[in-house]
Structure formats: C-alpha cells, structure tokens
Amino acid sequence: MQLTPLSSTQTLFTRDGNPLAVDANWFNPEFWLDQNKVFAQKTGRATAYFFAHKELKAVLRHYWRGGLVGKVLRDEYLYTSMRNTRVYQEFSLMCTLYQQGLPVVEPIAAMVQKSGLIYRGDIITRALEGAVSLCERLVAEQLDETTITEIGVTIAQFHKSGVYHADLNINNILFDKQNKVHVIDFDRGEIRPANTQWQQQNMARLQRSFVKEATRQPHFHWSTQDWQTLEKAYQRAMAD
C-alpha cells in the first residue's frame, strides 16, 4: 500500500501497482455528478456513489459514525496517528485480503483529511458487476441449496484466514453476475489468531441479521432449515 501526502491536511492511499491517476477530486461526489459519471446511488446510513471513469466502475463511500455518537459527531474521528485511522486500517486490510485472493472487492484508493485532532475519511472500491446483496436476493427469491452452501464455504474461507468481520450481515454479502459470493465492508475488521469464540460471534451476528430482516420484509425467503444448511457447510469447510 502506498501513502501519498497531497497537502498538509490530505493523505492519499493507493494499492501497490495501481496504475490509476487518483487525486483529491475523486473523493468529491460533486466531481463525478458534474460530469454525469454517477450511474447509481445507494442510500443506507449514508449515500454510496457508483461512478464510471474510463474502464473503471467504482464506488465512493464516506466514513460516517453510527449510533448516538453519530448524531453529534457525524463524520468526525479523533486523530492519534495515520495508522490508527479507520481508513488506513480498512484499506490496508482490504489490500491484504485482495492480494491473498479472498473474495473481496478490489480496493482502489482512500483518503484521510486531517484538521487538528479531527479527521474525516473516504474510500473507493471497484464496483462488482451485477452485484446483488444477499438481503436483496432473499426478498426476491428462494435460494437453492448450492448457493446457500457457497455462502457458508465463503465465510469459512475468511475465518480460516483469521479474518474478523466487525459487522457480518446479509447486506455485506454480495453476489456478482456469475453468482460468486463476495464479502464487503471491512471497517473495524482485522486479522486475528484463529479462535472459535470470535468466529462463532461472527456467525451469531449473521444469523441475527436474517431474523431481523425477516421481521421487516413482507416477503423474505429464508427458513430455519436454510440456516442449518449454511451452518453445516460452514462447519464442514472449517474442518477441512
């Protein structure tokens, strides 16, 4: 990973070998909107901007706080060092996972903007072609056993590599147009020594997200048997 100071307040992160000429403008949604290069926007806790530039289709995401703290500070984080920023940690982790061949989206660039003891951050990743979240799939259709099994096997891939995901849920699991499973959003994630305690905590969090979404959606194609299929595939892959 390469760190490039753009000014006394801005630091750019790029992946080693990335040939793209990224600059500070890339992290401003208006820059892409003014050129009519934004082809989609997705709103959750914040808006993610999908933009097209030459051969690249990418997603720009700003770092926003959640919970009660987020109502006050919104996007402000305490700066202690560059390596301690959530931006540096997530981008660095994603570069490592991408280089290892794990099914994550390609990290393109990230930026920290520092003002005194406060910083704000943004990250850009390559957009998955035809991406649909697991949540969206389950609202639309029943998954077959092969697809459910693939989800469990994919999570096991990450856990066997020591990858802790801080918010493993059905919105952070994506399918591409070939139906391949990917995991996204590694904010506050890290590589840890293999341990069944945190691995099972990850799985319990995922299971809760199925239950939670089932109560929110009028049509949600998921059952206890589906979870058992997923968990069995996960445990089998962990034992291999």
* Catalytic residue positions, numbered: 167
In the chain the beta strands, taken as DSSP E runs, fall at 2-5, 10-14, 38-43, 47-53, 56-62, 77-78, 107-115, 118-126, 132-133, 163-164, 173-175, 181-183, 190-191
Percentages (nearest 5) of helix, strand, coil residues in the chain: 40, 25, 35
How many angstroms from the chain centroid is the CA of residue 117?
A: 26
**Which position has the token pair 């445990």?**
235
User: In whole angstroms, what is the distance from residue 167 CA to residue 181 CA?
Assistant: 17
Extract the tokens encoding 2: 């390469």
Q: Are 46 and 67 in contact (CB under 8 A)?
A: no
User: In whole angstroms, what is the distance from residue 79 CA to residue 118 CA?
Assistant: 5
- Closest to 123 in 3D by CA, of 1, 6, 12, 208: 12
List of residues 6+ apart from 81 with CB closer than 8 A: none
- Closest to 135 in 3D by CA, of 234, 221, 44: 221
